[in-house]
A = this chain, B = another copy of it.
Amino acid sequence: MAETPIRVTVWGEYRHERAEDHVASIYPDGMHVTIAAGITENLGEACTVRTATLDDPEHGLTEEVLAATDVLTWWGHQAHDEVTDDVVARVQRHVLSGMGLVVLHSGHFSKIFKTLMGTSCGLRWRNSDDRELIWTVDPTHPIAQDVPQPIIIESDEMYGEFFDIPAPDELIFISSFGGGEVFRSGCTFRRGFGRIFYFRPGDQNYPTYHHPDVRRVIANGVRWARSDRALRSYPEIRRYEGLTG
């Protein structure tokens, strides 16, 4: 439908990378730059990508930026509480009005994701070099195209059930981990006029966002999350007099 390039904003907390040598060695320019590169790698001229981070003014998410963003991706971890409520409300309003949102890994516990889900978004976790296998359970979904069955990530943080989210509209991927844990790792949600994709992989301590299949899925998610609606509008309550009113 829409044929113009998808305008993507990749948001990154960008704290671990500046404070921890180990993380910096994996993501020397920040995780957001690596994520952005993966999207461009896959979508090419079908997208234009910019980045924004927590310590930018208004976290880089001004009204102007959001109005010019078709799909926002979100990675945060240790500083969820530093994201101001005003910016969270602004992002929520844009999502409900039609902006796509791709939430990555520890973003499950971000204010914006918890606000959009209405739940605690709690889960089980363990950081000890688990192998993750990501199995496709909805092979017709656009987000599941062009990846192997399963995707293999040699080492990543473990997330396990119960993951306290609303039952997803579409469950695309399920992961298993070294201890036999499972996780609903690829989920879609429609909220207002916006599409949301949650994708699990990606702890800061592992080179997950350099993994070609992970990059492919994120790019597929960006493409899927872009709205088909021509105009962005908020789903207002309104009085209605009927067809002849």
Residues of A within 8 A of B (CB): 1, 92, 96, 98, 109, 115-126, 131, 133, 135-140, 142, 145, 149-150, 152, 158, 160-164, 166-167, 169-171, 174-176, 179-182, 184, 189-195, 227-229, 234-243, 245
Say whether B182 contacts A175, CB under 8 Å. yes
A243-B118 contact, Cβ under 8 Å, with A131-B180, A182-B135: no
Distance, CA A217 to CA B109, complexed state (A): 32
Beta-carbon contact of A191 and B166 below 8 Å: yes
Cβ B192 vs Cβ A120 within 8 A: yes
In contact, A235 and B176 (Cβ under 8 angstroms): no
User: Which B residues are in CB contact (< 8 Å) with A166?
Assistant: 166, 169, 189-191
User: Given that A119-B191, A135-B161, A145-B1 are known contacts, is A179 also in contact with B237, CB under 8 Å in the complex?
Assistant: no
How far in angstroms is the closest Cβ of chain B from A96? 5
User: Is there contact, CB below 8 Å, between B239 and A193?
Assistant: no
Q: List, in ascending order, chain B residues with CB within 8 A of A242's CB.
A: 126, 179-181
Give 25 pairs: A residue, B residue, CB < 8 Å, sorted on A: A1-B145, A96-B120, A116-B118, A118-B191, A119-B192, A120-B192, A120-B236, A121-B237, A122-B236, A125-B237, A125-B238, A133-B180, A135-B161, A137-B182, A138-B190, A145-B229, A149-B161, A149-B162, A164-B192, A164-B235, A166-B169, A167-B170, A167-B171, A174-B174, A181-B240
| CA A164 to CA B98, docked complex, whole Å | 12
CA distance A35 to B59 in the complex (A): 47
With a cutoff of 8 Å between Cβ atoms, the chain B residues found around residue A184 in the complex are 137, 174
Please give the distance in Å from A36's CB to the nearest CB on chain B: 21
Determine the chain B residues whose CB is within 8 A of the CB of A115 once the complex forms: 118
A71 to chain B, nearest CB (A): 13
Closest residue of chain B to A100 (Cβ to Cβ) is B140
Q: How far is the CA of A106 from the CA of B227 in the complex (A)?
A: 30
A132 CB to closest chain B CB (Å) equals: 9
Inter-subunit contact B167/A138 (CB<8 Å)? yes
CB of B164 within 8 A of CB of A96, answer: yes
| A118 & B120 in contact (Cβ 8 Å cutoff) | no
